[in-house]
Amino acid sequence: MIKVENLVKKFGEFTAVNSISFDVHQGEIFAFLGPNGAGKTTTIKMLTTLLKPSSGRIEVDGLDPAVKQNEVRQRFGIVFQDPSLDGELTAQENMELHGVLYHVPRKIRMERTEILLKTFELWERRKELVKLFSGGMKRRLEIARGFLHTPKILFLDEPTLGLDPQSRNQLWTQVKQLNQSEGVTVFLTTHYMDEADRVAQRIAVIDHGRIVAQGSSQQLKEQTNTTSLEEAFLALTGTSIRDEKATSADQMRQMAQMWRGNKR
Amino acid sequence: MSVIYILWLRELKRYFRSRAQIVASLGQPLLYLLALGFGLGPVFRKAGNGSYLQFVAPGVIGMTVLFSSVFSGIGLLWDRQFGFLKETLVAPVPRNRIMLGKALGGATVAVLQGLLVVVACLLVGFRPGSFAAIPSTLLFMALIATVFASLGIAIGSKLENMQGFQLIMNFLVMPIFFLSGALFPLTNLPKAMVLVTGADPMSYGIDGLRGALIGISHFGAPTDILVLCGFGFALVAVGSYFFSKIQL
């Protein structure tokens, strides 16, 4: 479903992604793990047409995202690290808007909105403004929205950041369920190793822009002689803390949080 | 089409849902209207120019449309801040349609806001020439709104955070307003002012409004329309271009 070969992304002198290669198979849940600043989000941006690679090859469902932008965009759904809902609209209106943007015919749009909102337990609240939703509800709505246009691939960039264990648990149960019922390939990143361990069939670990290991959770543990994925991850990426410089995106995030009253 | 429509609709829904903001944004025009209209009225009349309220009301209506449309465009920054921008940028639709939906939505909201101020003007004693003024008034409001909503989007596409906002306000939007002849007649100005006001697209918008509402026009309606359309096309193009270049 996704094929990446020798992918490189440079920002000036800095190499964010340094010649990585991996495959994601049809229908699987694939976890992409790494410490802060390892290159996860940059890679996702290249897979989802938001950034052009410096060199290397990407195929998403057989298409090059840098060339066939709109075709590729039609094929994936994405849940970003930061929320991307319109808080001044209701849950249903957010779904509606998404459906129109993705050319989903009206009838199918209505049907799928109902099914998905029910799956994610938001149907009863569909007429409420999203700004009044809790963090967990917003996340669920975003994921429901990501599924609306029946994508072949769903990208989840740290979807459970800031959620309580109950919400996280429920969210992954629902994602797994849709992965099976709709055959969607899921590409996720997370900092919670237990989640990756639980839902992902295969895992790639990226650090300093390079893939340092890939395989099933079991294989990674065996390879590092550890008993948990967390230990395996630390063995692969070291224990030093990665302090990133705050980018303007981080500053905005902080400010947005301030404005929202830190509800997330 | 449906993409443009749904994004246009979004702007309208957001507008009607923020009642506090609607009321708040009436404050400034009312202040200009009352303080200047009645404060400068006697001096203006003494100078032989007639009623200042009559003169300044079209200017205040134009100002409302100007600010409202520029802000709606710069509101892009808000979408960026609160994340909704990403949702539209990864959608499988050409960016220029997204830009157009947003620009038309912002322009419509600005015209609605302008109409509220028209009503406020009527309430404090402004009397337009005739009811025949309505279509041409609407036309000029729509032109101003489109020009400046597009300008706002062009700016909003370039700004990455709120710091630039004040800069744009004080060094672009306020000068556009103050140098447009909204508050003073364009006749008998010093040479430098003639050049500056002539280069300000808003001058033609205000002039058009004043022509429509009280029958006094400096450039003449055809020139006003032509210049505004020219700026309109150029700024829609520039806005679309910058918008299509947004990187996340």
Instruction: Report residue B83's pLDDT band, with 50, 70 and 90 as the boundaries.
Output: confident
Q: Would the CB atoms of A256 and B81 count as touching at under 8 Å?
A: yes
* Percent of residues, chain B, with pLDDT higher than 70: 100
| Residue appearing with tokens 């989640």 | A195
Query: How does strand A185-189 pair with strand A202-207?
Result: unpaired
- The answer to the question of residue A201 being in a domain is yes
Q: Chain-wide mean pLDDT for chain A?
A: 90
Q: Give yes or no for B245 touching A (CB within 8 A).
A: no
Q: Which domain holds residue B237?
A: 2-244
User: Quick check: helix, strand or coil at residue A15?
Assistant: strand
Q: Chain A partners of B18 at a C-beta cutoff of 8 Å?
A: 88
Contact: B84, A45; criterion CB under 8 Å: no
Q: Which of A51, A70, A129 sits opposite B92 (nearest CB)?
A: A70
State ipTM: 0.89
CB–CB of B6 and A100 under 8 A?
A: yes
- Partners of residue A252 in chain B, C-beta under 8 Å: 80-81, 160-161
Residue A172's domain spans which residues? 26-49+63-260
Q: What is the pTM of this model?
A: 0.89
Residue B27: Cβ-neighbour burial (10 angstroms; 0-12, 13-18, 19+): exposed
Write a three-state SS string for B75-104. Answer: CHHHHHHCCHHHHHHCCCCCHHHHHHHHHH
Query: H/E element holding A17?
Result: strand A14-24
Query: Does residue A131 lie in a domain region?
Result: yes
How far does the CA of residue B83 sit from the closest CA of chain A (Å)?
4
Backbone angles phi, psi at A209, to 5 degrees: 80, 5
Place of tokens 């947003």: B102
Residue-wise pLDDT for B205-244, tens only, equals: 999 999 999 999 999 999 999 999 999 999 999 999 999 9
| A57 in any annotated domain | no
Q: Is B89 on the interface with A (CB under 8 A)?
A: yes
Q: Is the pLDDT of residue A205 over 70?
A: yes
Q: A78-137: per-residue pLDDT in tens?
A: 998 888 999 999 999 999 999 999 999 999 999 999 999 999 999 999 999 999 999 889
Alpha helices in chain B (DSSP H): 2-17, 19-31, 37-39, 41-46, 52-74, 76-81, 84-89, 95-123, 133-158, 163-168, 174-178, 191-199, 201-214, 221-244
| CB proximity A70 to B under 8 Å | yes
Contact state of A50 with B160 under an 8 Å Cβ cutoff = no
- The pLDDT value recorded for residue B189 is 92
Contact indicator for A157, A81 with CB cutoff of 8 Å = yes
Contacts of A151 in chain B (CB under 8 A): none
Residue A8 lies in a domain: no
Beta-carbon contacts of residue A122 (< 8 Å; ≥ 6 apart): A91, A137, A140, A141, A144
Comparing CA positions, the residue from B119, B246, B81, B172 lying closest to residue A253 is B81
**How many domains are there within chain B?**
1
The number of distinct structural domains making up chain A is 1
Sign of CA dihedral B33, B39, B43, B46: positive
Residue A203 lies in a domain: yes
The confidence band for A264, taking pLDDT boundaries of 50, 70 and 90, is: very low
Instruction: Tell me how close the Cα of A182 comes to any Cα of chain B, in angstroms.
Output: 21
What DSSP state is assigned to residue A245? P
